[in-house]
């Protein structure tokens, strides 16, 4: 969990004995939420690219495994179909909620005069 505001440190102190994984980002309200939102752009964007690859390659008679041959081995310790299966599964399980999150991200970017 990311936390931010002046009392975040005290909250962390109370919750740490219960095993809560908490990172105090800032004392400014909103910084933790913004950090999470921009992280979502990266994670959901990578998953969208993976889906395009997985579902697009069969249409071009390209074996998906061939597409992954030179994929970086350092991404979460997984390569190829293992990572693809993980990402596709995450989208299937959490897709509806994630779509709503990305709508919020888009609205936030628009409010910052960015073109999402």
pLDDT beyond 60 at 110: yes
**6 backbone dihedrals φ, ψ, rounded to 5°:** -65, -25
CA distances from 42 to 11, 23, 38, 65, 76 (A): 28, 19, 7, 23, 14
The predicted structure's pLDDT at residue 65: 61
Domains of the chain, by residue range, sit at 2-111
Distance CA 91, CA 89 (A): 5
What DSSP assignment string belongs to the chain?
Answer: -EEESTTHHHHHHHHGGGT---EEEESSTTHHHHHHHHHHHHHHHHHHHHHHHHHHGGGGT--HHHHTTT--TTSTT--HHHHHHHHHHHHHHHHHHHHHHHHHHHHHHHHTT---
The predicted structure's pLDDT at residue 73: 57
Distance CA 17, CA 81 (A): 38
Number of C-beta neighbours around residue 22 at 10 A: 17
Q: Give the pLDDT band of residue 78 (cuts 50, 70, 90).
A: low
Q: Give the pLDDT band of residue 62 (cuts 50, 70, 90).
A: low
CB 25 within 8 A of CB 31: yes
pLDDT tens track for 28-44: 888 888 898 888 888 88
Residues of the chain with pLDDT > 90, as a percent, come to 3
* Predicted TM-score (pTM) of this structure: 0.62
């Amino acid at each position: 969990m990311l936390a931010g505001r002046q009392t975040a440190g005290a909250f962390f102190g109370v919750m740490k004995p219960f095993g809560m994984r908490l990172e105090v980002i800032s004392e400014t309200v909103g910084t933790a939420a913004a950090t999470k939102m921009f992280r979502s752009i990266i994670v959901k964007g990578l998953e969208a690219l993976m889906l395009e690859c997985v579902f697009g390659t069969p249409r071009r008679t390209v074996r998906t495994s061939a597409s992954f041959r030179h994929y970086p081995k350092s991404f979460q310790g997984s390569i190829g179909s293992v990572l693809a299966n993980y990402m596709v599964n995450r989208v299937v399980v959490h897709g509806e909620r994630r779509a709503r999150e990305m709508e919020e991200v888009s609205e936030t970017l628009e409010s910052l005069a960015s073109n999402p």
